Amino acid sequence: MKYRFVAGLSAMVIVAAACGGGDSESSGGAAECEVGETDGDLAFYNWTDYMAPELLEQFEEEYGVKVEYTQYDSNEQMLAQVDAGGAIYDLVVPSDYMLDTMIQEELVMPLNFDAIPNAKNIASEWQSPPFDPENKYHVAYQWGTTGIGISIDALEAMGNPEPTWGFIFDPELSSQIPGGVSMLDDSNEAFAAALKYLGYSIDEVMTSGNEEAIREAGELLKQTTPNLVKFDSVTFGDDLVNGEVGAAHGWSGGFALSFLEADAYDRDVYVIPKEGGVRWVDTMAIPANAAHPCTAHTMINFLTDAENGGALTNYIYYASPNEAATPFILPEILEDPGIYPPPEVMAQLEFVPQAGELQLLMQDLFSEAKG
Amino acid sequence: MTSLDHAAAHSQARKGRLLATPAGLYIVLFFIVPLLIILAYSFATRTATGRTELSGWNLESYDKLFTGLVMRTVWRSFWMAAVTTVMCLIVAYPFAYYLATRAAKVRNVLLVLVMIPFWTNGLIRIFAIRFMLGSDGPISQASESLGFGEFRILFTPTAVVLGMLYSFLTFMILPLYVAIERMDWKLVEAARDLYADGFTAFRKVTLPLTKSGIIAGSILVFVPSFGSYVVPEILGGAKTLLLGSYIARQFGQARNFPFGAALSVVLIVAMLIAVVINQRTEASEL
């Protein structure tokens, strides 16, 4: 009797779970929203330390809705949440390659650009990118680069060499860095860095499905793990300025913010390795199952406003794709080569494309490398 | 038994069932159902994009359990949990003994002191420890001023064990305290009367009589240490991947729900077996 009850229950659960998994809403047409229309409170899911709090307050005041703001520290974590449908978000901020995945899996809805007149503020170089060629699903949020933050002491200890990914991957160099090295806890970024160090073009490897190169990079990561202090995508900048690590793989703005807060510009520096680095752009997109798509459109329009775009960059220290915002951005940010790299450095940077079949392999090899 | 007695017993039983209903519902809804969901997911399929499909049931995730990586992680988690348990025991036993032998007034004050850390959020306490163990923290500074140079424990296995010791110590103190407190002290006196020295009396009388407390405390410390997630995430480094973090990662970054579920199922089953064996041996000893 008891056993039959448990068996029945488990059957029920399996059915319920199957139903839950099956009904991910297919993306229909763009939402019918007017400019400035709101249809309820906004569930906003964004990266950690990636928003000026006063902008959220201002939005709440202006439109009379609440913003439930939650944060994630990797694209995959956000994807798992949106995909599982456990929590319904109205607005998310996937990076380039992740937006590609979400479009393919029909997890984001096409935007109604009539409700986002400020989208014209985005500079033309950020319109129609390879991950969303028709520019249907996103508005660019912020962009930046991935490189290495390093203490000036560590650079001197190594005899001031030209910046290289070898700071992480070459044991002879990394062992000279007092405090050790940390690496981003992010499979795409880790592989991009390893591939660059090995001399590959990231784009070529990913688009041609070069599994061998990925395995070679995975092996390099595995050999490097014992020499690392830790994997971290959240406190990499703070750990560097606090001296917990001597060098850290990380994102441009994260370092800039930590340097600024700790007044560490004379102790630490952000460099882009000579082998070339990674450039990326994060995008605002609306999940297909969003409950309040009109409020989300209004928020996108609000954040893409010239003045608000400037306030955003002035707070988080990442570069803005918003051309109209330039006059509102602090000159010290516009002149910082760590945030807006000079053209010759820009030319060496690559986007990490959606890796298709290789994506899972990279995730699995990265898990293995970290074990 | 008269029919009246029978009816009384019956109504007593019914009342008992009624009283247990809320707890029973709670356990079914928030414990058994989630466990069954985990079980179902562990047989599910992971698609080429990392999505989980609840169809094509298979044992692939269980196949992957026997790789070197999983074994190393399990072993590392096991010995770190074991070290934490032993250290908790070494720290907690003398303290519990001291506690149990004080006058009621002092004892109550000390018990409150044991509880006070729980008034602060555990995460915040772990971040405080992170600061303590860091290269700018007081331990490192003391070592520097004594001329031993910078001394960083943070991001090492030692830091993780210290963090777990701190987090779970109370779970060891309380059962030990209860066991020592309710022990019959006349037996210790009798041992001393029979010319046992202090150590022998402790070894032959006190220790066996408080064994139940030692076992209960050890289980309460070992189980959460073995699956610990927060402490190794915050205090650990690149070389301290533990089972809890590894499982959590399957549901986040690695996007492998079936594998994460299979790991959880095996962990639960292993713990259950250990607890059942322990109860059996204990029962047979009585």
Look up the ipTM and state it: 0.78
Nearest-CA distance from A342 to chain B in Å? Answer: 33
DSSP structure string for B8-41: HHHHHHHHHHHHHHHHHHHHIIIIIHHHHHHHHH
B52 pLDDT higher than 60: yes
Q: Percent of chain B beyond pLDDT 70?
A: 98
Nearest-CA distance from A339 to chain B in Å? Answer: 27
**A226 close to B (CB below 8 A):** yes
**B33 close to A (CB below 8 A):** yes
**Average pLDDT across chain B, whole number:** 89
Residue A247: count other Cβ atoms within 10 Å of its Cβ: 28
Taking the CA of residue A54 as centre, how many other CA atoms within 13 Å lie in the half-sphere pointing to its CB?
10
Nearest-CA distance from A118 to chain B in Å? Answer: 33
Mean pLDDT for B43-54 is 85
Domains for chain A: give ranges and CATH numbers: 30-142+281-339 (3.40.190.10), 144-280+348-370 (3.40.190.10)
End-to-end CA distance of chain A: 45
Question: Could you report the per-residue pLDDT of B231-249, keeping only the tens digit for each?
Answer: 999 999 888 889 999 998 8
**B35 close to A (CB below 8 A):** no
Nearest-CA distance from A9 to chain B in Å? Answer: 8
DSSP structure string for A251-307: EHHHHHHHHHHHT-TTTEEEE--TT--EEEEEEEB-BTT-S-HHHHHHHHHHHTSHH
B279 pLDDT higher than 90: no
Asked whether A366 and A187 are in contact (CB, 8 A), the reply is yes
Q: Which of A13, A74, A368 sits opposite B37 (nearest CB)?
A: A13
Q: Which residue of A has its CA nearest to B55?
A: A18
Nearest-CA distance from A363 to chain B in Å? Answer: 5
A–B CB contacts, 8 A cutoff, strictly below: 105
Asked whether A173 and A154 are in contact (CB, 8 A), the reply is no
Q: How far apart are CA B268 and CA B125, in angstroms?
A: 28
- Indicate yes or no: CB of A363 within 8 angstroms of CB of B255: yes
**B273 close to A (CB below 8 A):** no
Q: How far apart are CA A247 and CA A179, in angstroms?
A: 8
Q: How confident is the model at residue B286 (pLDDT cuts 50, 70, 90)?
A: low
Taking the CA of residue A71 as centre, how many other CA atoms within 13 Å lie in the half-sphere pointing to its CB?
9
Q: Which residues contact A213 (CB under 8 A, 6 or more apart)?
A: A195, A198, A200, A205
Please report the pLDDT score of residue A29 as a whole number. 61
The CATH number given to B64-285 is 1.10.3720.10
Question: Could you report the per-residue pLDDT of B178-210, keeping only the tens digit for each?
Answer: 999 999 989 999 999 999 898 999 999 999 999
Q: A339 burial class (0-12, 13-18, 19+ CB within 10 angstroms)?
A: buried
Please report the pLDDT score of residue B137 as a whole number. 84
Question: Could you report the per-residue pLDDT of B146-181, keeping only the tens digit for each?
Answer: 887 777 789 999 999 999 999 999 999 999 999 999
Please report the pLDDT score of residue A68 as a whole number. 96
Helix residue ranges, H only, chain B = 3-27, 33-42, 60-63, 68-100, 104-115, 122-133, 138-145, 157-181, 185-193, 198-201, 207-209, 211-226, 230-235, 243-251, 257-285
Token couple for B43: 């047989």
- Indicate yes or no: CB of A230 within 8 angstroms of CB of B238: yes
**B155 close to A (CB below 8 A):** yes
Please report the pLDDT score of residue A25 as a whole number. 39
pLDDT tens for each residue of chain A, 371 residues long: 344 444 444 444 444 444 443 333 334 467 889 999 999 999 999 999 899 999 999 999 999 999 999 999 889 889 988 987 767 999 999 999 899 989 988 999 999 999 999 999 999 988 888 899 999 999 999 999 999 999 999 999 999 999 999 999 999 999 999 989 999 999 999 999 999 999 999 989 998 989 999 999 999 999 999 999 999 998 999 999 998 999 999 999 899 999 999 999 999 999 999 999 999 999 999 999 999 999 999 999 999 999 999 999 999 999 999 999 999 999 999 999 989 999 999 998 998 888 878 888 898 899 889 87
Please report the pLDDT score of residue A3 as a whole number. 43
B222 pLDDT higher than 50: yes
**A11 close to B (CB below 8 A):** no
Q: Could you tell me the residue ranges of all domains in chain B?
A: 64-285
Please report the pLDDT score of residue B12 as a whole number. 80
Compute, in degrees rounded to 10, the torsion defined by CA atoms B69, B71, B73, B75: -150
**B269 close to A (CB below 8 A):** no
